[in-house]
Structure 1
């Protein structure tokens, strides 16, 4: 099938090569999970970010995962305890003019991307994937109470825009002075492909069964959003900050998915599961 998908878990600063079966004519990259950790200790946070660098050559993509969790004293994440799960969706061979795959970067909180022309006005698939985010308190560091990054779509005629939400704050009024999200877009108006994408509900340590119109050989998740918050509306140091959306089990065209957004420090404080959550979509190929 010309619509192909590859995924890999990549350490911060490392590069993975994604090999497809033919010349890549369109592609979209995103993430399904990440875990950023200081290792066996905790610290304040100043800047937290995840981003992807992509180089395309013929039938291959070389993707480098970049990640930062740093305080104002230079403590950065432990690469050996951190990772980013990267997903690449590609159309190979002769292009399909009724499919649109692509990426945009640097959408500010509350902002939208420039309009992206898609193949029609009534797509049966229109989804945005989270491909990275940047959160910073600016020139200093603080505790974290809440962090959020989310992307979504707005359609006007045959022009799709990607909306971004991204913020971080503590419980004494300090908030991020800058924030952006990177996103991927998949839009399909090719009836022969059918609806190969299904969205998820918000999930936090629970499961959801999703039924596709037909069985696929592979089901792969993409994150669209996360929100994480410590219990009791309180703020703390951070030891590990992790977000994931995953396929738990498959039975024919029925797919069970799960996900969670988590925070921990070294004093036993953890996220509020009543507020924290993730969402995204599943691609069948």
Structure 2
């Protein structure tokens, strides 16, 4: 199929891009990787009157990993972020999740920020940003950029907190604290498909190897990534003796997924609980690994 007619714009710098977006308003769409937008246009599910191609904006193709976290520019491709050893050291959850995103050919072209701006609750990266408490930097013509926390950025399915004329220019993924482990697990009909259910987990231990914090973000469990704080459910027990099955049961009871042609709501809820137990155990094992406790994966 072919997309409906549109006007094509190819700005050469960020100021020009923001000016074009301001002029097109709600009729303009940003083209970066295009791995979600172009199929939607070809299927006539999206029909923007203007397509603003930002691929000439070299200043947005950045990946910066520092002690505080990882900032990914709007043109940084999935594959580049996935392959970065520095990114994996600062924020290992990113690499774990990116390995589940579609297929290599799509990861070579698709962008991290584009996936966030697409705001699909079945996608991996929105859950990662949400569980880490990250943010998206948004720019618009004639105004200073603003950082939107993940909890406010995802408004609903395919509905990011981007007003007409705004551009998501980067995303920030905070670094993991000391004695923290992370994990990302999912189940899909085929590897690379959207997940029927998935869980991103972050577990932090205190000096006595007790659970100081435990968070999960659930994929395909609601209209936006569902973030649950499970610290109280863990009871500040030592990681090795925590009843992860009971903690995961709380996850299962607190999510309310929809059913579709791929899975019923009940199966998706059950699967989320199973994956939460697995992800939490892996994350806790990673956090405690230097102290000699390991987990059977």
* Structure number with larger C-alpha Rg: 2
Structure with more relative contact order (C-alpha pairs < 8 Å, separation 6 or more): 1
Q: Which has the higher helix share?
A: 2
